[in-house]
Amino acid sequence: MARVWLVTGASRGLGRAITRTALDAGETVVATGRSADAVRDGLEGYHDRLHALALDITDAEAARAVASETVKRFGSIDVLVNNAGYAELGFFETFTDAAIRRQFEVNVFGTMNVARAVAPHMRRRRSGLIVTISSVSGLVSNSGGSVYSASKFAVEGWMEGFAEELAPFGVRSLLVEPGMLRTDFMDRKSASFGGIDIPDYAEAVAQYRSFVEGANGNQPNDPKLLAARIVALASQVETPARLLFGNDATQWAGAKIDKLREEIAQSADLG
């Protein structure tokens, strides 16, 4: 029996790949983006089971309306993929307060808006899966990624606790932590750089911008493979709490774990 998926940020990148993969598996997908037309344009040929809706996830009322419309039309939301987001890439002091707040408004509070709209339905049914697209940057932070990582660290902490709150009601959670995916995530449609010029950081910022521009389109990990992994896991009775994807992600996370162990041991030595 086909399930009903609700996917945010479905107009391109990983969201589009997940939507297409779920549709290919015979599922029904309510795919959202800031422009419903952009969602449809990227997913031609699926119109019998694809239902595109406009959604700005920072609008809590709009998120509730989409969830309500989905349940009313299809009877359920079996899988929520909280995918929409973007990256503020650059050095912390080069960002305005408004830019940092916008990062959290979308990546954290927007993601919460959608989960808050869908979770009551899943609790009532005592069934459902919430897939939250985080990042290995939600586990590891580096220079140039402090603001983006801060938003993803927040998502990780929130969803880790929220998952425990939902588990007694049969609602499962999957936190997805990809490494660098070969999408347009690092182009100017998804990534934004700080606009404050600080001479002390000028050389480092230039090097970082060069790295990002060179990496865009050349990232090592295939989003189609990740989409297939997510759709396959959604069919399983037992779902892991986390999915690290990509050799880069596992290496960075492993190095972080080793570092934490060292720091814990050093703290213990201090008595």
- Residue of 11, 46, 137, 148 marked active site: 148
- The CATH number linked to 59 is 3.40.50.720
Residues of the domain holding 202: 4-269
Q: Contact at 8 Å (CB) between 198 and 236?
A: no
Is there a catalytic annotation at residue 189?
no
CA angle 117, 126, 17 (to 5 degrees): 55
- Residue of 46, 135, 137, 152 marked active site: 152
pLDDT digits (tens, 9 = 90+) for 201-237: 999 988 888 878 766 766 656 899 999 999 999 999 8
Q: What pLDDT does 212 receive?
A: 80
Q: What is the DSSP string of 209-245?
A: HHHHHHHTT--SB-HHHHHHHHHHHHTSSS--SEEEE
Q: Tokens 């140039």: give the residue.
A: 144
Rounded CA gap, 92 and 88, in Å? 9
How close are the terminal C-alpha atoms of the chain, in Å? 58
Is there a catalytic annotation at residue 190?
no
Number of domains in the chain: 1
Q: What pLDDT does 220 receive?
A: 53
Question: Cβ–Cβ contacts within 10 Å for residue 172, how many?
Answer: 22
Q: What pLDDT does 1 receive?
A: 74
- pTM across the whole model: 0.93
Q: What pLDDT does 48 receive?
A: 82
Q: Would you call 29 exposed, middle or buried from its count of C-beta atoms within 10 A (0-12, 13-18, 19+)? A: buried
How do beta strands 28-33 and 50-54 pair? parallel
What is the spatial order of strands in the sheet that 242-245 belongs to?
50-54, 28-33, 4-7, 79-82, 128-133, 171-178, 242-245
Rounded CA gap, 132 and 111, in Å? 8
Q: What is the pLDDT along the chain (271 residues), one digit of tens a residue?
A: 789 999 999 999 999 999 999 999 999 999 999 999 999 998 987 778 999 999 999 999 999 999 999 999 999 999 999 999 999 999 999 999 999 999 999 999 999 999 999 999 999 999 999 999 999 999 999 999 999 999 999 999 999 999 999 999 999 999 999 988 766 655 555 566 788 999 999 999 888 888 787 667 666 568 999 999 999 999 998 999 999 988 999 999 999 999 999 999 999 877 6
- Residue of 134, 135, 149, 192 marked active site: 134
Is there a catalytic annotation at residue 134?
yes
The three state secondary structure string of 46-107 is: CCCCEEEEECCCCCHHHHHHHHHHHHHHHCCCCEEEECCCCEEECCHHHCCHHHHHHHHHHH
